[in-house]
């Protein structure tokens, strides 16, 4: 099959479009004929890109852990999915990803794509959607009527977090660079803070939850925004300072079939949509990674078929 692979630790310039052995489905797996895939800009630095679960070198490695495609083959233990089903979901961090014509995925990490949702939009949804869901509701405990800050609102994760928080009835304060303001408003944010122009604390006031997708100094300064009983939740690093009277949390997104199916339902009904900032053919994966690093909003998607 055609695939994009990286043979040694490096950056996106080291991605090669080439022939590779077709992925083999194991017990519990479905083989997916990939139509579209997506990725996280810094995933080539993640340990799972380079080693399997036992810590063994697994290069050359196929990136892109978000997939949308058609079930080509089902193995034992994959009840509920059939060849020909349109599916989307997350592939294992420690196995080959979806930047290829085929990928083997555990069936429990897939859900059926709702009618009316295209492959490219579906590929942009699983990682960002699950991360936003878990950050807001599982780790952040967000409820209707609460105030939430979403740092990095125009990013892959941020675009979903703004919409999910708004859909849940929260008051949403989005942050980012000034160019992100229009998109944040379009996605339903009630307010926007330009991090390069406005002082954070006076612009935000006190909130119940800060959901951080940027990290660094901003994460350290954000503890101060959280009111009593609130939470500071980050996907970039453990918060160095916990809010006074509140909680601090860092988490790694987990595959979750029920949450994935709920995201599919919300996307199918139009309540949320993955923001596809750009689409590149699979052969141009290196350009796609570079484009994302230049500030394309939302997700950059690889079109495979
Ligand atoms: N823990 C987990 O499970 C998990 C899951 C998914 C992602 N992540 C991590 O979370 C981070 C975000 O992922 P993502 O896919 O959402 O990335 P992304 O699409 O690049 O989103 C990040 C957003 O933050 C903005 N931003 C970054 N630095 C900024 C700054 N200094 N000032 C203002 N805005 C800034 C970016 O704007 P520009 O593009 O204009 O810079 C972009 O809109 C990455 O580090 C990723 O590895 C972790």
pLDDT at 244 (0 to 100): 95
Q: Please, what is the Cα angle at 94 between 215 and 74, to 5 degrees?
A: 125
Q: Is the pTM for the entire model greater than 0.85?
A: yes
Q: Does the CB atom of residue 181 touch ligand 1 within 6 A? A: no
The closest residue, in CA terms, to atom 47 on ligand 1 is: 42
Q: Where are the domain boundaries for CATH 3.90.180.10 in the chain?
A: 2-125+274-303
Q: What is the residue whose two structure tokens read 């009527």?
A: 145
* Residue 208 near residue 147 (C-beta atoms within 8 A): yes
The class of domain 2-125+274-303 in CATH terms is alpha beta
Mutation to probe ligand 1, out of 123, 139, 160, 214 (largest number of atoms < 8 A from CB)? 214
Atom of ligand 1 nearest to the CA of 235: 1
As averages over each run of 10 residues, the pLDDT of the chain (305 residues) reads: 96 96 94 97 94 95 98 94 97 97 97 96 98 98 98 98 98 98 98 97 96 97 97 97 96 95 96 97 97 93 96
Residue nearest atom 40 of ligand 1, based on CA coordinates = 295
Euclidean distance between CA atoms 133 and 164, whole angstroms: 7
Residue having the nearest C-alpha atom to atom 31 of ligand 1:
214
The predicted structure's pLDDT at residue 31: 98
295 CB within 6 A, ligand 1: yes
Ligand 1: nearest atom to the Cα of 299: 19
The preferred substitution site among 124, 157, 160 for testing ligand 1, maximizing ligand atoms within 8 Å of CB, is 157
**Omega into 60 within 30° of 0, i.e. cis?**
yes
- Written as six digits, the tokens of 296 are 């394309």
First-to-last alpha carbon distance for the chain, in angstroms, is 12
pLDDT at 23: 87
Task: Give the class (CATH, top level) of 127-250.
Answer: alpha beta
Strands 86-90 and 66-74: antiparallel
How close is the Cα of 214 to the center of ligand 1, in Å?
5
Is residue 157 within 6 Å of ligand 1 at its C-beta? yes
- Please indicate whether residue 246, judged by its CB atom, sits closer than 6 Å to ligand 1: no
* 204, 227 Cβ separation under 8 angstroms: no
Return residue ranges of the chain for CATH 3.40.50.720: 127-250
Distance CA 63, CA 70 (A): 19
């Amino acid at each position: 099959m055609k695939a994009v692979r990286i043979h040694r630790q490096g950056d996106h310039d080291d991605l090669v479009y080439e022939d590779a052995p077709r992925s083999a489905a194991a017990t519990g797996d479905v083989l997916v004929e990939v139509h579209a895939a997506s990725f996280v800009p810094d995933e080539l630095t993640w340990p799972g890109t380079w080693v399997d679960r036992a810590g063994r070198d697994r290069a050359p490695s196929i990136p892109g852990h978000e997939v949308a495609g058609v079930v080509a083959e089902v193995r034992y233990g994959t009840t509920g999915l059939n060849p020909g089903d349109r599916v989307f979901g997350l592939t294992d961090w420690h196995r080959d990803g979806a930047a290829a014509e085929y990928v083997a995925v555990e069936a429990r990490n897939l859900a059926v794509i709702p009618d009316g949702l295209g492959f490219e939009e579906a590929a942009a949804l699983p990682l960002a959607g699950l991360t936003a869901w878990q950050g807001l509701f599982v780790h952040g405990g967000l409820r209707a009527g609460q105030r939430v800050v979403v740092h990095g609102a125009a990013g892959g994760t941020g675009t979903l977090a703004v919409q999910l928080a708004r859909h849940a009835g929260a008051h949403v304060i989005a942050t980012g660079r000034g160019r992100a303001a229009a998109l944040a408003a379009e996605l339903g944010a009630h307010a926007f803070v330009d991090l390069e122009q406005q002082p954070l604390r006076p612009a935000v006031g006190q909130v119940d939850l800060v959901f951080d997708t940027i990290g660094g100094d901003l994460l350290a300064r954000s503890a101060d925004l959280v009111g009593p009983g609130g939470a500071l939740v980050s996907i970039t690093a453990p918060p160095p300072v916990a809010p006074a009277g509140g909680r601090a949390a860092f988490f790694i997104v987990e595959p979750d079939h029920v949450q994935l199916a709920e995201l599919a339902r919300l996307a199918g009904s139009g309540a949320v949509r993955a923001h596809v900032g750009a689409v590149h053919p699979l052969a141009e994966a290196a350009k796609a990674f570079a484009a994302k690093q230049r500030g394309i909003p939302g997700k950059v998607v690889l079109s495979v078929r």
